[in-house]
Amino acid sequence: MKAAPHETAERVEPVAAVARFLTGFAHRVKSPLTGVRGYGELMAREGDGDRRRYWGERLAGGLESLDRIVESARRYQLPRALERRHLCLATLAGEAWRLALQATPGAAAKNCRLALDLDPAAEALVDPFHFRNLLVNLLQNALDASPAGGIVRVDARAGELIGVSDAGPGLAGLDRERILTPFFTTRPDRAGLGLPVAAEIAAAHGLALDWQELRPTGLRARVLRGTGHRHQRSMP
């Protein structure tokens, strides 16, 4: 999470942040929505069966794109009640990685890779929808921070349920309280809700979020067992 010159750590403007989020969301929806409308009109006018199937496939693809965009916005949904199940952490992490790649602008061009180092037998009693959203938010943050061709590592260490590490610039002087402030962001294309929502989801599960700065560079987001809050720097 790198501080940017366009925004300081002293001021959060919720109205501007919400407007920024809605503008970005509308921009992402507009292109596939235009395509869906056009494909539907072409399919309706087409008499040839093969051509109708062709435009029908394009229409289905556009609808799938819209569904992915809506799903990406749902990662900000706060839990009201949890429906816990025993789920494989490695499977959840893999699903969250694919969703994070779809939800993170510029992720494809960066060509970052996932290093998944979790015991295939490791399970957790979690709500699949909300805990997956927690992981998507952490992975999106890691993708944002990672250099081109970087590796995002997901594993579990002592005291953790799961952890996400990147090779980005780290906290850059920001503290835990600041990055968990709703609507605070260092990027002009973000709403500043991902990490606060992730923290709420963790708390609802009886877990907590923490961060460790890595050497020589990077940041590790940790989902801790228990609700104690700790922040550490310079982890080897």
Secondary structure, 3-state, the chain: CCCCCCCCCCCCCHHHHHHHHHHHHHHHHHHHHHHHHHHHHHHHHCCCHHHHHHHHHHHHHHHHHHHHHHHHHHHHCCCCCCCCEEEEHHHHHHHHHHHHHHHCCCHHHHCCEEEEECCCCCEEEECHHHHHHHHHHHHHHHHHHCCCCCEEEEECCCCEEEEEEECCCCCCCCCHHHHCCCCCCCCCCCCCCHHHHHHHHHHHCCEEEEEEEECCCCEEEEEEECCCCCCEEEEC
Q: What is the pLDDT of residue 203?
A: 93
Q: What is the CATH number of domain 80-235?
A: 3.30.565.10
- Would you say residue 163 has pLDDT above 80? yes
Mean pLDDT for all residues in the chain: 80
Can you give the pLDDT at residue 227? 55
pLDDT at 105 over 90: no
pLDDT computed for residue 234 by the predictor: 34
Task: Summarize the confidence of residues 200-206 as an average pLDDT.
Answer: 93
pLDDT of the residue at 42: 82
What are the backbone angles phi and psi of residue 55, rounded to the nearest 5°?
-70, -30
Give the CATH fold of the 14-74 domain.
Answer: Helix Hairpins (1.10.287)
Q: Where in the chain is the domain with CATH 3.30.565.10?
A: 80-235
Q: What torsion, rounded to 10 degrees, do the Cα atoms 159, 155, 88, 112 define?
A: 150
CATH 1.10.287.130 in the chain is located at: 14-74
- Rounded to two decimals, what is the model's pTM? 0.71
- pLDDT tens, 107-124? 888 899 999 999 999 999
